[in-house]
Structure 1
Amino acid sequence: MPTTSGKPLLELATAYNSLRDSGFDFSTAVGEPIDNAIQAEATKIHIITKTIEKDNPNSKKKLPVIQQVAIVDNGYGMNADVLHSCLQLGYSTRYNDREGIGRFGVGATLAAISQCKKITVFSRSKSTSDFLSTYIDIDEIAKKEQLEIPYPVITKQTLKINPLINQDSGTIIVWDKCDRLETDPNGKPINSKILLDELEEWISRA
């Protein structure tokens, strides 16, 4: 007898992995949260990278590769409800806003997953509030361990980046499991200096 129960609109693991090939490079991917920070009236935006050394098959000298990226701003931040939705594909508080780059509610999340497998967002909308955080992890989605975006919880773990915001409101976006920044499709390490030089040039133009 045929089943009468519904089917989910998306097979999450397959969909997220397909969406990783969305056409962003490192510079344009970082540009999305920068654009959001500017829209949030940030006056300070910091881009912080953590690197590790990887064996270079073409040399005895190891190459530095990007392991983690953090984008920190002192914009007006997000309350719990907005933060809960900010990683959801299709969600936007400024849908079709032509002031910035990302108008359709998928830019920042698509940009992030094109470079990494885990995105954590920390934010507070008042300088006197604690930071709240939520995340998505593609590895957990693939294992069916993550089926939804967790409701934001208070966190003290802001990777010691908090002093950059001081007593302001603001947002910290952290990319972890940066597989596509560490190695190219052939498994060769990607020199972090090349990526960061390209990013600096792109930001100066954009």
Structure 2
Amino acid sequence: MLTLNRRAAKRLGVRPLRLNDLPLGLVRAAGLDLASPALSQRMMTQVIREHLDVREPGLTARAMLGAVRELLRSGADLNELKQNSSARIAQLARLTLAYRDALQGRQLLDQVQVTQRATELVRPQLLSLSGYPRLLPDEQRFLNAACDEGSVLHLPWVDHPYFLENLDAAQYLESQGWMVKKIDVPVTALAGAFLGQAHGGGKLHILTSED
């Protein structure tokens, strides 16, 4: 059972195991590791120093690291993007490639790469997930690859814009062959719904298809 924290695990009577523990364990078993925030910053600074003529490479690196990470997280083809007609997009792609390659040279991954890489490494297993308010797109793809038949995911849901991300997640998983069941409960508080409490709202009961 994958839970958000120890308190949730205790409430469910299971051993604490967070969703991000699985991908990290997989990449470490493959001989890779997670770059620390300080090391990521230093390596990005070195990339800026080598590729851009700026007075303050450290400040530039700090300003650009977020955009670099978003591009890494997107899974876009960086070699194609560096040929983009937009000079800014092409430059960002080149910097992202250089940063990724610098990490790879040390057998390291940026924090946003861990789940992506683990998705390529994982073998399907029986999993359950509960207590998460939402799932990021890369987490959805990881769970789709990691979950064997009989796995179940629970996401909070009520008919409210705050929960559109969870509805999108359910639709993505359904497109991958999962079955989705909406369980409606009268809403008394959105906070309760986010926590998956029965009195706070409904939930999306998502399970692997038996087909």
TM range (shorter): under 0.3
**Under a length normalisation based on structure 2, what TM-score does the superposition of the two structures give?**
0.24
When you count strand as a share of all residues, which structure comes out higher?
1
Larger Rg: 2
**Under a length normalisation based on structure 1, what TM-score does the superposition of the two structures give?**
0.24
When you count helix as a share of all residues, which structure comes out higher?
2
